[in-house]
Amino acid sequence: MFTHGSLMRHVAVMTATGAIGLMAVFAVDLLSLFWVSKLGDQAFKAAVGYVGLITFFVMSINIGLTIAASATVSRALGAGDRPRARRLAASSLAITFVFSAAMAAAMILLRDWILAAVLHAHGESAEVASRFIAISMPANVPLALGITLSGVLRAVGDARRAMYVTLSAGAATAVLDPLLIFGFGLGVYGAAWATVLSRLIMLGVGWSGAAGVHNLVARPKLGALRGDFGPIMAIGFPAIMANMAAPVSSAYTLRIFSDFGEAAIAAYAVIDRVTPVAFGVIFALSGSIGPIIGQNVGARLMGRVRRALTDAFILSIGYVLVAWMVLALAAPLLIAAFEARGESADYVAFYCRYGVSAWLFLACLFVANAAFNNLGFPVLAMAFNWTRATLGTIPFVTVGARFWGVKGGLVGFALGAALFGVLAVGTAYFVTWRLAKGFEGADRAGSRRTAAVGGRGLKTRALISWKRVGDIGEGRVEAGAGGADAGYDRERDAGA
């Protein structure tokens, strides 16, 4: 449980274990590009770049649903209601299955139009990307279920088994990629088949931990699903919308870079695979801080919530500075490893030395968004992500690329991230303060009511309406006792 003990330790342990699993997967994706690079065709690297962006889009939906599962289950566990946590886990998985299957079908049917009309892909790279998507996209279903199960494991505090979910997929891909690409002679499509098999393994490991070890997944029931859909999607929908902003921003950037030729797209593919490995700790941190905040909010320990938020910002900024230094020094090695030449090599080097600065602010934005989702303000996460993806990307990247080419676009992206990252940090602290004030007002009202009936030994329970959590600073409470528990639980989840 995260309601006791050192918060810095909780944040660090959850982040470290999550980062190991995530970075293993990202490192294997990077290794896949390395093997594809050895096929000797720059069009293959460009194709992998296009596929990566489309995969990023559907993954953003999967992560949004995982955030909802983790937040609702962790709150139920923090309140001591394990049966409700099991039911919410089952309902979350059912919702995830439907969404992930629908998105996989849509991406397969629309892949050629997306590649041509949205991303400006053409020629051999577009043909390779299209076939790659047709092979790998059905595996989005086991991928989505696997990471949702990982979120359930994090909600219960089992960081080690949550790490195993992603680590298993990474290990499988590391073996399968060279085997299928070169051993079976499947070429670039061997990487697609390796993706399918590794995601099936991920699902098996996640189910073993969440359902087998912790028995934290109940049997899905239609009636329960109907009741849980609202509370889950109250978090899930804004989280999905917030997460979709990033791939939209990346798609616009890639489209701008496409006009500078295949060398720019090949460089983008390298950057796209190097960045998650370099900043996997940040992704893990933003995912790990959610359950920690959720449990402490459920226990109404707002001082610990503020401290957890501060610790997360300190860790994220410190890590980005170290990663930036490592990338700047390692730029020549990356260029040689992926056989980048000419302008492509120049773009990769520029990103490693200067473009990485954007992550100082993106890291803070990710942590703030995780806080918004678990404090009951998911709309704020959606708002910040979309304003950053539009107002913070389109004008900055467009102007930068128009006057200074690809390098100018990278600098413009960093400037937009800086503006909205700083605003998000300030808003996160304001929301935490406002929520704490609301709890204090509710506690005072409850104490007065208890004193009024003290002679009879009765206590009145002050309930905060989570549907109106945005108005919590006004201290609005509802009185309820005994049989009101069910209504309390529904209200608290509905606005999460």
**pLDDT tens figures, 427-452:** 989 988 888 787 766 666 666 666 55
Q: Report residue 189's pLDDT band, with 50, 70 and 90 as the boundaries.
A: very high
DSSP codes, 389-423: HHTTTHHHHHHHHHHHHHHHHHHHHHHHHHHHHHH
Residue 480 per-residue DSSP state: E
Q: In sequence order, what are the beta bridge partners of 271?
A: none
Q: Has residue 460 got a pLDDT over 50?
A: no
Average pLDDT over residues 457-473: 43
Amino acid letter for position 51 = V
**Confidence bin at 421 (pLDDT 50/70/90):** very high
Q: Residue 482: left if φ>0, alpha if ψ -120 to 50, beta else—which one?
A: left
Q: What is the mean pLDDT of residues 448-468?
A: 49
Mean pLDDT, rounded, of the chain: 82
Percent of the chain with pLDDT over 90: 33
Q: Please, which pLDDT band fits residue 136 given cuts at 50, 70 and 90?
A: very high
Question: Strands 461-464, 477-480: parallel, antiparallel or unpaired by DSSP?
Answer: antiparallel
Q: Are 428 and 371 in contact (CB under 8 A)?
A: yes
pLDDT at 474: 39
Say if CB 70 and CB 152 are below 8 A apart: yes
User: If 0-12 CB within 10 Å is exposed, 13-18 middle and 19+ buried, where does residue 432 land?
Assistant: buried
Distance of alpha carbon 133 from alpha carbon 116, whole angstroms: 14
Phi and psi of 156, rounded to 5°? -85, -5
pLDDT confidence of residue 36: 85
Position 463 pLDDT exceeds 80: no
C-alpha Rg value of the chain to the nearest Å: 23
Task: Give the mean pLDDT of 207-214.
Answer: 90
Nearest-angstrom CA–CA distance, 367 and 73: 20
Instruction: Report CA dihedral (167, 171, 173, 179) to the nearest 10 degrees.
Output: 180
Residue 275, judged by CB atoms within 10 A of its CB (0-12, 13-18, 19+), counts as buried
Which residue, among 276, 189, 224, 235, has the nearest Cα to 87 in the 3D structure? 224
Mean pLDDT in residue range 394-407: 93
Distance of CA 66 to the CA centre of its chain: 8
pLDDT for res 392: 92
416, pLDDT greater than 70: yes
Q: Is the pTM of this model over 0.85?
A: no
- Who has greater pLDDT, 148 or 283? 148
Q: What pLDDT does residue 475 have?
A: 39
Each residue's pLDDT tens digit, 284-322? 777 777 777 777 776 666 778 788 888 889 888 999 999
> Which of 43-52, 428-437, 459-468 is predicted with the least confidence, judged by mean pLDDT?
459-468
Q: What is the pLDDT of residue 431?
A: 87
Retrieve residue 302's tokens.
């707002």
In eight-state DSSP terms, residue 218 is P
Q: Of 13-27, 120-134, 325-339, give the lowest mean pLDDT range.
A: 13-27
Sign of CA dihedral 466, 467, 473, 478: negative
Q: How much is the average pLDDT of 219-225? A: 86
pLDDT band at 327 (very low <50, low <70, confident <90, very high): very high
Exposed (0-12), middle (13-18) or buried (19+): which is 449, by Cβ within 10 Å?
Answer: middle
Question: In the predicted model, what is the mean pLDDT of residues 148-173?
Answer: 86
